Structure 1
């Protein structure tokens, strides 16, 4: 059973509401907010140098890049790197996004590069974006439809920002959304936990990475 990392933030009334209203079993009542399809794709969100930074405490990392998350990001990479290796072994497609801030004139600037441990490999798709959602102003929907994808597995950052926006847009466009919680991170712990809670209640399956690997392993067998 998945460890719900947000439980320590909930009051007793919060827990009762989640149970009595059925969010723990069914998610949102207005649409099918949770599900696991048969043709997944992994989306790696904005794992770039200016967001990751060096492997050091975040208060040190922000001295170089105000957006950097330092060791918070690198602890997620510890899970993300072997997870992506597993995904590749199962021939599941991977798409990367890069955010290109308007303050950067050169889209090839080293600050915008995806960090080496989780960098794209030959055959992977990289989509540049200007806003939080990987869907806004990009051709991602068309790519997913052409590939007959029904489920997006999202890793990267940040839980309360680009991951959330991408997950909501994915669900709104009819795709199942899966979030391996160890592979997602945010600079503020409360934002991370609450973001995962909100996404779990209304838009996505939030699972531990080993549970997601079991699901993907089954999809590999079906393929």
Structure 2
């Protein structure tokens, strides 16, 4: 059974509501919010230098970049690196996004680079975006449809921001969404836990990374 990282935030009433209303088994009542398809793609959201920063406590990391998360990010980066290696080994496609803030005139600035441990391999798509959702103002939807992708496995950051926005838009465009919880991060622990809870209840499968790897392995075997 999945270890739900948000459980310590829930009151007894919260737990009873989730169980009695069926969110624990069925997700959202108005649309299909749980499940995974047969043609997944891993999407790595904004794991960039200005967001990751140095491998130091976050209060030190923000001294260089106010968006940096330091050790919080690096703990997830290490897990993402292993997860991407596993996905590629099972012939699961991998794509990336980069956020390019309006304050940067040069899209090739070193701050915007994806950090080395999870850098794209040759031929993997990197989509630049200006807003939270990977779908807004980009050609991501067309790319997914062209390649018959039916499921997005989303990793990266931030749980409450770009991951959430991308997850909601993906679900609204008819894709299944799977979130390996150890491969997602946020600068605020409460935002991270609540963001995962909300997405699990309404928009996505939230699983431990090992469970997602089992799913990807089964898809690779059936390809």
TM-score interval for Structure 1 and Structure 2 normalised by the shorter chain: over 0.9
**Residue 15 of structure 2 corresponds to which residue in structure 1?**
15
Q: How many angstroms does 1:91 deviate by?
A: 1.2
Q: Which structure 1 segments of 5+ residues have no match?
A: none
Q: CA–CA distance in 1 between the matches of 2:20 and 2:91?
A: 41
Q: CA–CA distance in 1 between the matches of 2:160 and 2:126?
A: 22
Q: How many angstroms does 1:43 deviate by?
A: 0.3
Map 1:83-162 → 2, pairs under 5 A: 83-162=83-162
Matched residue of 2:121: which SS? coil
Q: CA–CA distance in 1 between the matches of 2:64 and 2:187?
A: 15
**Residue 198 of structure 2 corresponds to which residue in structure 1?**
198
Q: How many angstroms does 1:57 deviate by?
A: 0.1
Q: How many angstroms does 1:89 deviate by?
A: 0.8
How high is the TM-score relative to the length of structure 2?
A: 1.00
Structure 1 moving runs of 4+ over 4 Å:
none
Q: Deviations over 1:183-219 (max 9, x none)?
A: 0000000000000000000000000000000000000
Map 1:10-49 → 2, pairs under 5 A: 10-49=10-49
Q: How many angstroms does 1:123 deviate by?
A: 1.2
**Residue 52 of structure 1 corresponds to which residue in structure 2?**
52
Q: How many angstroms does 1:96 deviate by?
A: 0.3
Matched residue of 2:92: which SS? coil
Matched residue of 1:163: which SS? helix
Matched residue of 2:153: which SS? strand
Q: CA–CA distance in 1 between the matches of 2:65 and 2:174?
A: 36
**Residue 175 of structure 1 corresponds to which residue in structure 2?**
175
Matched residue of 1:171: which SS? helix
Q: CA–CA distance in 1 between the matches of 2:6 and 2:164?
A: 16
RMSD: 0.4
Q: How many angstroms does 1:54 deviate by?
A: 0.5
* Number of residue pairs matched by the alignment: 223
Q: CA–CA distance in 2 between the matches of 1:102 and 1:213?
A: 36
Q: How many angstroms does 1:78 deviate by?
A: 1.6
Q: Which structure 2 segments of 5+ residues have no match?
A: none
Q: CA–CA distance in 2 between the matches of 1:123 and 1:62?
A: 33
Q: How many angstroms does 1:160 deviate by?
A: 0.1
Q: Does 1:186 align with 2:216?
A: no
